[in-house]
């Protein structure tokens, strides 16, 4: 399910690489995973995905950098 969201993000934002879109969704997953016990996890993930689709390139690049830091991504 989330893999399609990653692909869609790269279509919506042609400048974004698959790896960057994956990092955004992975970061959201890590942030919202504790909410799974309250049955709000999928809702929060959907909201975040919608935000990513409408976000500006500048703001998304900042979010990508934050995701890299939080996830200790070195690639």
pLDDT of residue 36: 83
Backbone angles phi, psi at 14, to 5 degrees: -55, -25
- pLDDT value, residue 75: 74
pLDDT in tens, 27-68: 999 999 998 888 899 999 999 999 999 999 999 999 999 999
**pLDDT score of 1:** 62
Q: Are 59 and 18 in contact (CB under 8 A)?
A: no
pLDDT, position 74: 83
Torsion of CA 23, 27, 33, 34, to 10 degrees: 160
């Amino acid at each position: 399910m989330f893999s399609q969201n990653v692909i869609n993000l790269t279509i919506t934002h042609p400048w974004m690489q698959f790896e960057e879109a994956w990092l955004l969704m992975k970061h959201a997953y890590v942030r919202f995973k504790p909410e799974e016990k309250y049955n709000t996890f999928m809702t929060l993930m959907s909201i975040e995905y919608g935000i990513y689709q409408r976000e500006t390139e500048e703001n998304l690049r900042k979010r990508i950098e934050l995701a890299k830091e939080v996830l200790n991504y070195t690639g």
